[in-house]
Structures are given as C-alpha cells and as structure tokens.
Chain A
Amino acid sequence: KNEVEQSPQNLTAQEGEFITINCSYSVGISALHWLQQHPGGGIVSLFMLSSGKKKHGRLIATINIQEKHSSLHITASHPRDSAVYICAAHTDKLIFGTGTRLQVFP
C-alpha cells in the first residue's frame, strides 16, 4: 500500500462545477503539499498546510491531522484548471501521491 493515496485518479467536469480531490496518508507529517502540474511538466506549489484550511482564489485546501486526510476543492471550475493535481506528504522528504488528472470542459 502506498504511503500517500489520492482519489480519484481521473476526473472530468463541466465548467462551473465544484471539484473535490482527496488525499490520504499513512505517515507522520510536518505538512501536506498540493501541487499542480500542467502538460509539459511544470509544477506549481498551490498549498502547504499543517492544520485547518487555506484558501487562494477559487482553490481551498483542508487537512484533518487526526484522520490523516486532506482535500483540495476547486469552486466554479474553469477549463484552465485542467491539470494533474498531486498531493505530497512532507516527512523528512516529500512523498508523492500518484496524482489526479482533471479535465474541465466548457
């Protein structure tokens, strides 16, 4: 079993829909990262959180330390949100989930 599990693996949405991507981890962490990777490979760090909730524009990330679970929400999704979203558990290094491929259609 992977130390970091993401679901779903693939997600298709219509523009405007509310999106949720889930991440569960089995290791002790100092923080949980959410990353976005566009075609071509470039990775952008969206959030680093160790408790509670963070919001940036239409993106919201939450974490429940007791349940070892984090979610990334996208409100009012847009085609430009189409990307692979990766969560990573920060131990003494980053341990990555396998990613969620999101496609948002107009």
Chain B
Amino acid sequence: KAGVTQTPRYLIKTRGQQVTLSCSPISGHRSVSWYQQTPGQGLQFLFEYFSETQRNKGNFPGRFSGRQFSNSRSEMNVSTLELGDSALYLCASSPGIDTQYFGPGTRLTVL
C-alpha cells in the first residue's frame, strides 16, 4: 500500500496570505489527523477528521481550518498567515482509533 502523501512538501508564503495543504491517507484509512511542529512548541494537535466529520480540535485559532472529502483525502487551510505559523505540518492517517501513520510533512515558511 502507498503511504500517506502530503502536498506540497515545501511552501513559502508572505504574511497575510492564505495557504491550503493537502493530505492523502493510506487507502482504507478513514481517520486523518493534522499536527503542527515548531522548534519552540514541539508537536501539537490541530484537528482530526473521521468519515468527513471533524472529530476533535486542538487549541488553535479559527484561522486554522480543515475538511475531509468522501475519499478520505483531507485539506487544511490557514488564513491570514502570521510569521509564527512557520512550521512543519504533518498529517497522519489510521483505520480508526489505532496506530497512526505519518506523512512526510509540508514545511511552511512565512516571510
């Protein structure tokens, strides 16, 4: 089976812009979770989707949003980018409440 794929792998944006990141889970996996990793805060949970429904959400402002499509692919969107949004964004898929399989991440730089 192909692993979790994320696109794009690298992205440079400027403050105030918005960005959309994409995640394709392992075939058959219905749960997709998103995480932010920064040197200062480490890994933090953003949100989880299961069968197109947001199942859980972390403590991030409303500028961070996501969605999941019927084929389980997921997107996350960050609006009005701030310098502090520069991070590695990781998604992970799992069949349900189970081991998570991580994608390679999207490295976002906000200038």
Contact = CB atoms under 8 A, between A and B. Distances in A.
Interface residues on B, range: 20 to 34
A96 B44 contact: yes
Contact of A45 (B44, B56, B97, B101): B101
A106 interface: no
Interface stretch (B16-24, B65-73, B74-82, B102-110): B102-110
* Chain B interface main SS type: strand
Contacts, number: 44
Contact of B45 (A35, A44, A95): A95
Given A41-B104, A41-B107, A94-B45, A30 B97 contact: yes
Nearest to A97: B42
Interface in B45-100: 45, 48, 56, 58, 88, 90, 92, 97-100
Nearest to A88: B43
Interface residues on A, range: 10 to 19
A93 B97 CA distance: 10
Interface in A14-51: 30, 33, 35, 41-45, 48
Interface of B: 33, 35, 37, 42-45, 48, 56, 58, 88, 90, 92, 97-102, 104-105, 107
